Amino acid sequence: MIRLRRTSATALLALGAVTAAVFGSTGAASAHITVDPKEATQGGYGRFAFRVPNESDTESTTKVEIFLPEGAPLGSVSTMLVPGWTAEVEKRTLEAPVEVHGSQLTEAVAKITWTAQPEAGIGPGTFQEFPVSVGPLPTVDTMVFKALQTYSDGAVVRWIDEPTADGVEPEAPAPVLELAGAEDADAAADQDGTPPAADAEAADDAAAGDGLAVGLGVAGLVAGLGGLVLGGLAFTRSRREPAPKA
């Protein structure tokens, strides 16, 4: 009986370890601040959302700071009301005026800070989106929005790492917006008749579907493993228990 209990405990520990390893490996990828959509066209206007997930198991996110790139000033930046949060826009004076739609731009938005009101915040296991409307988008290939995420215990996570030359994601990546030239965007649309933004949305939907399929597959694998373990335990118990007397 003692040996049987040890066998049962070992099997259950193994099942738990496998479950933790499988779900742990699929859980926290891409748990950093991102901008959505991730692609746009130079010279255009757009609505974007900074998506902020909470990585803490116990604390809430109470402040989010987004720094706009200095080398790519925007003529217009508007924030959308987010319930439970206040938005503060800070501007900076440009070293040289930038012409936007025939007028000289002498200052641009440097930072947007969203601060949670009392009893608000991004709780553990949740995320929040902070929408903005911006434009005209500059004639650069990428815009890197460095970000700071402050938690209720005072901890600050710095999402400031820029993209690497080899394409490997850095440890604390900043949100990145890819910008295509107007001619490149028109060429991409002409090839399949679908605007790049629609292609990006379809790709996101496909990725979401793939993620669901992977999740269901993992759940099935763990359930199957659990059945094998329990079946083995039942078989072992049946061999050790004496047969009933007639």
Residue 13, domain extent? 1-30+194-246
Same domain (yes/no): 126, 68: yes
Asked if 57 and 97 count as a contact pair (C-beta separation under 8 A), the reply is: no
* Cα-Cα-Cα-Cα dihedral sign, residues 135, 140, 145, 146: negative
Number of domains composing the chain: 2
Same domain (yes/no): 103, 172: yes
Q: What is the pLDDT along the chain (246 residues), one digit of tens a residue?
A: 544 444 444 444 444 443 433 334 333 345 899 999 999 999 999 999 999 999 999 999 999 999 999 989 998 999 999 999 999 999 999 988 887 777 888 999 999 999 999 989 999 999 999 999 999 999 999 999 999 999 999 999 999 999 998 989 999 999 999 999 877 655 555 555 555 554 545 445 544 455 445 454 545 554 555 555 455 555 445 555 554 554
Q: Which amino acid is at 44?
A: G
Same domain (yes/no): 37, 25: no
What local confidence, expressed as pLDDT, does residue 66 receive?
98
34: how many CB neighbours lie within 10 A of its CB? 22
Same domain (yes/no): 25, 36: no
What local confidence, expressed as pLDDT, does residue 220 receive?
56
Same domain (yes/no): 153, 198: no
Final residue before a domain boundary, out of 181, 213, 235: 181
Residue (of 82, 138, 135) closest to 113 by Cα position: 82
Same domain (yes/no): 41, 160: yes
Which residue has tokens 């009392």? 118
Sequence-distant (6+) residues with CB within 8 A of 170 are 161, 162, 163, 164
Please state the length of the chain. Answer: 246
Domain assignment present for residue 189? The answer is no
Same domain (yes/no): 129, 80: yes
